Chains A and B, each alone.
Chain A
Amino acid sequence: MTLLQLVLNGLVQGSLYVIVALGLTLIFGVLVKINFAHAEFLMLAAFAGVVSIDTFNLSYGVSVLVATLVGASLGVAIEFGIFRPLRKRRTDELRPLVATVGVSILLQNLALLYFGPNPRQYQSPYMQKTIELGELYLSYQRAIVFVVAVAAICALFVFLRRTAPGRAMRAVSQDSDAASLMGINVSRIVLMTFVIGSALAGLGGGLLGPMLVIEPTVGANIIVLSFAIVVIGGFGNVNGTVIAGLLVGIIESLVTGYLEAGLSSLAIFGVLLLTLAVRPTGLIAERVEQNV
């Protein structure tokens, strides 16, 4: 029973990681760039959610919406503020990453200045109760998160495969020059990608909020794990990211349950390096392509 419970814990936790990592992987797939401030978007969105509940007395559900919108807006801001100007200038590929490192530091400390270092509690009415499935248990909150994550992933899949903008996105990620020759407005697709990807980060903030401690450094703790997931799953590979995220969640859970909590990071990053050494396009590559 313990094993099953641990696996369940891992699946649920993993689905949360997937939400965050998906945003990164989408952006990378289309833009071939990494937004290092992605996790700060999650952090700021979570704060926005907390504020909307504490100060404006909105309901939890609405606060999640607020968080998602905040995430999306930040995505727009960083595309216009950082990525687009640098693209126009055709500087080397390192610059946007470094610029977003700077943005990440900036956002973290602005949040520290404005909100203070005291951790906030993101209240959700679903944290109290648990669902019992035989001998296994799951808190309402986590069940909800799992369901929403699955829904979001499915929606994303449908979007990418069945809708015109979605297909355009995939076209751009395969070959942006060819795509623009086919009449796709690459700039618009890029913007859309940022909106979706960062909205996912915001959604993650709203959903994870009640289960996390909301403080300015919360993003920094998540970002590196998200990178690991994206790499193991394959940069730009949506399927791979999903599987990798769930896998990482399960690894974390099992290592914590049976070994030492401190070793889970070691295990995950060991897998990361192994992936990069052996199969850099990702363990779960569905096609051997550079980008999805």
Chain B
Amino acid sequence: MFSSLARQQWVRSSLPVLVAAVVIMTAPSLVTGSFWQRVIILALFNVVLAMSLNLVIGYTGLLALGHGAFLGIGAYTSAVLTTTYEWAFWAAFFVAGITAAACGLLLAVITLRLRGHYLAIATLGFAVIVYQVLMNWIDVTRGPLGIPGIPTPPNIPLGNGTELDFGLPAAHIYLAGAFAIVCYVLIRRIVNSPMGDALRAVREDEISAKSLGIRTFAWKCFAFTVAAFAAGLTGSLYAGYMGILEPSAFVLTVSFTLLAMVIVGGAGTLVGPVIGALVLTIVPEALREVGPEYRMILYGLALTLVVLFFPQGLVGIGAALRSRFRSSSRSKPDEPPSDSTGTGFAKEVPVDAS
């Protein structure tokens, strides 16, 4: 039915996903000690957050600096629904995503005509507002007191009489892992399809794109909405895992951390944000030993140095190393990878021309 070439390609592109799935399935038994299991779960959440942010920053070329806000919106929506209103977890999960997506759409509409730094500051302002709302809307969010006692997802019965017990970290690893894989596949779908082409066209040259008939505003909204949706869902899982929420978990620093993961990993690539998220979640934990101040110092230092010297992120380093070792390769060392990084070097125009 399918040509052998097509089948080969399907296997080749699905292989990594399958490998990742296998690794995640076996992780709970490989990694013992709830400390490192927690690190994995948080790393997987960050993978999804970084991938979704990358859709906006890397593929659509929009500097979104407030992604943490959508995580917070999703987390709090889910928490409030499951605690105060005693909703079922998965219903709350879905609504959390929708709510965050709606806010993403709202932000996109507000900032539609903005570009560059103006857009960045707008998203920053949005994140601050969300944080202030979480802190001050005491009737709903309990403000600084936070929301304790958030229920975990309900146990999932597996076929052979056992069940997936969400009281234990292993179940959360499976859930987060499956979620991350699904998101990866979906985002890859988008990126490798004509939708991805449209987004990239917006990134490279918005005016030309428009002249080609691409509805740039619609695509911007699309990117923001999808990214926010993913972040909102992640927020729900995060709330269910943590069991207790505080507004302080959603300060601006979170957004900057996510930004760093995308940039350090390599914006505009599929793998970049995954690498960035894994590295920037796991390494600081490994550095706990060194001393907490050093942890943050190294973090800041690493971020600065990577941005200064490895603009294409860790992915770029990997590609450079690979081309150096490929003896018979005739590829030019500065040839950009197929999905290029960077958001274009446009002269600063605050508002879109039309």
User: Which positions in A face B, CB cutoff 8 Å?
Assistant: 28, 32-34, 82, 85-86, 89-95, 97-99, 101-110, 112-113, 224, 227-228, 230-231, 235, 260, 262-263, 265-266, 269-270, 272-273, 276-277, 280-281, 290-291
**Residues A272 and B125 in contact in the complex (CB < 8 Å), given A98-B263, A262-B132:** yes
Contact between A99 and B304, CB atoms less than 8 A apart = yes
Q: Contacts of B263 on A, CB cut-off 8 Å? A: 94-95, 98
**Minimal Cβ-Cβ distance residue in A for B111:** A276
Chain B nearest Cβ from A116, distance in angstroms? 10
CA distance A97 to B126 in the complex (A): 18
**Secondary structure dominating the interface of B:** helix
CA distance A273 to B345 in the complex (A): 25
Closest 8 CB pairs of A and B: A106-B300, A105-B300, A102-B303, A102-B304, A109-B296, A99-B307, A272-B125, A113-B293
Chain B nearest Cβ from A79, distance in angstroms? 13
Q: Contacts of B259 on A, CB cut-off 8 Å? A: 98, 101
**Residues A276 and B114 in contact in the complex (CB < 8 Å), given A235-B350, A266-B133:** yes
**Could you say which of A82, A91, A97 contacts B311, with CB atoms under 8 Å apart?**
A91
CA distance A104 to B307 in the complex (A): 14
**Could you say which of A97, A102, A262, A269 contacts B135, with CB atoms under 8 Å apart?**
A262
**Could you say which of A86, A97, A231, A291 contacts B308, with CB atoms under 8 Å apart?**
A86
**Is B118 close to A, CB under 8 A?**
yes
Q: Contacts of B113 on A, CB cut-off 8 Å? A: 280
**Minimal Cβ-Cβ distance residue in A for B107:** A273
CA distance A177 to B102 in the complex (A): 42
B109-130 residues with Cβ-Cβ distance < 8 A to A are: 110-111, 113-114, 116-118, 120-122, 124-126, 128-129
Contact between A109 and B293, CB atoms less than 8 A apart = yes
Contact between B114 and A102, CB atoms less than 8 A apart = no
Q: Contacts of A110 on B, CB cut-off 8 Å? A: 297
Q: Contacts of A95 on B, CB cut-off 8 Å? A: 263, 307, 311
Q: Contacts of A104 on B, CB cut-off 8 Å? A: 300
Contact between A231 and B121, CB atoms less than 8 A apart = yes
Contact between B118 and A235, CB atoms less than 8 A apart = yes
**Residues A231 and B125 in contact in the complex (CB < 8 Å), given A106-B301, A280-B350, A290-B349:** yes
CA distance A110 to B346 in the complex (A): 35
Q: Contacts of B296 on A, CB cut-off 8 Å? A: 105, 108-109, 112
Q: Contacts of A113 on B, CB cut-off 8 Å? A: 293-294, 297
Can you name 18 extra interface pairs (CB under 8 A) apart from A93-B348, A273-B129? A33-B117, A34-B117, A93-B343, A94-B57, A98-B260, A99-B304, A102-B302, A102-B304, A102-B307, A103-B300, A106-B304, A109-B293, A112-B296, A228-B125, A265-B128, A269-B125, A269-B129, A276-B118
Q: Contacts of B122 on A, CB cut-off 8 Å? A: 272-273, 276
Q: Contacts of B260 on A, CB cut-off 8 Å? A: 98, 101-102
Chain B nearest Cβ from A273, distance in angstroms? 5
Contact between B300 and A109, CB atoms less than 8 A apart = yes
Chain B nearest Cβ from A139, distance in angstroms? 29
User: Which positions in B face A, CB cutoff 8 Å?
Assistant: 57, 63, 110-111, 113-114, 116-118, 120-122, 124-126, 128-129, 132-133, 135-136, 252, 256, 259-260, 263, 293-294, 296-297, 299-305, 307-308, 311, 342-346, 348-351
Q: Contacts of B297 on A, CB cut-off 8 Å? A: 106, 109-110, 113
CA distance A173 to B264 in the complex (A): 30
Contact between B117 and A273, CB atoms less than 8 A apart = no
Contact between B124 and A224, CB atoms less than 8 A apart = yes
Chain A nearest Cβ from B246, distance in angstroms? 16
**Minimal Cβ-Cβ distance residue in A for B259:** A98
**Could you say which of A94, A106, A228 contacts B343, with CB atoms under 8 Å apart?**
A94
CA distance A262 to B122 in the complex (A): 21
**Residues A231 and B118 in contact in the complex (CB < 8 Å), given A224-B124, A276-B110:** yes
**Residues A291 and B348 in contact in the complex (CB < 8 Å), given A102-B300, A106-B300, A280-B114:** yes
Q: Contacts of B311 on A, CB cut-off 8 Å? A: 89, 91, 95
Chain B nearest Cβ from A263, distance in angstroms? 7
Contact between B344 and A92, CB atoms less than 8 A apart = yes
Instruction: Pick the most buried of A92, A263, A270, A291: most chain B CB atoms within 10 A of its CB.
Output: A92
Contact between A98 and B303, CB atoms less than 8 A apart = yes
Q: Contacts of A262 on B, CB cut-off 8 Å? A: 132, 135-136
Q: Contacts of B350 on A, CB cut-off 8 Å? A: 235, 280-281, 290
**Residues A98 and B307 in contact in the complex (CB < 8 Å), given A105-B296, A112-B293, A280-B114:** yes
CA distance A101 to B311 in the complex (A): 15
**Could you say which of A98, A102, A270, A290 contacts B129, with CB atoms under 8 Å apart?**
A270
Instruction: Pick the most buried of B129, B296, B302, B350: most chain A CB atoms within 10 A of its CB.
Output: B350
Q: Contacts of B342 on A, CB cut-off 8 Å? A: 91-92
Chain A nearest Cβ from B346, distance in angstroms? 7
Q: Contacts of B299 on A, CB cut-off 8 Å? A: 105
Chain A nearest Cβ from B202, distance in angstroms? 15
Q: Contacts of B256 on A, CB cut-off 8 Å? A: 101, 105
**Residues A276 and B308 in contact in the complex (CB < 8 Å), given A109-B297, A231-B118, A290-B348:** no
**Residues A92 and B345 in contact in the complex (CB < 8 Å), given A263-B136, A266-B136, A280-B113:** yes
CB-defined A-B contacts under 8 Å, sample of 14: A89-B311, A94-B120, A94-B263, A98-B307, A99-B303, A102-B307, A108-B300, A109-B297, A235-B117, A262-B132, A263-B136, A273-B122, A276-B125, A280-B118
CA distance A231 to B124 in the complex (A): 11
Q: Contacts of B302 on A, CB cut-off 8 Å? A: 102
**Could you say which of B110, B293, B301 contacts A277, with CB atoms under 8 Å apart?**
B110
Contact between A32 and B348, CB atoms less than 8 A apart = yes
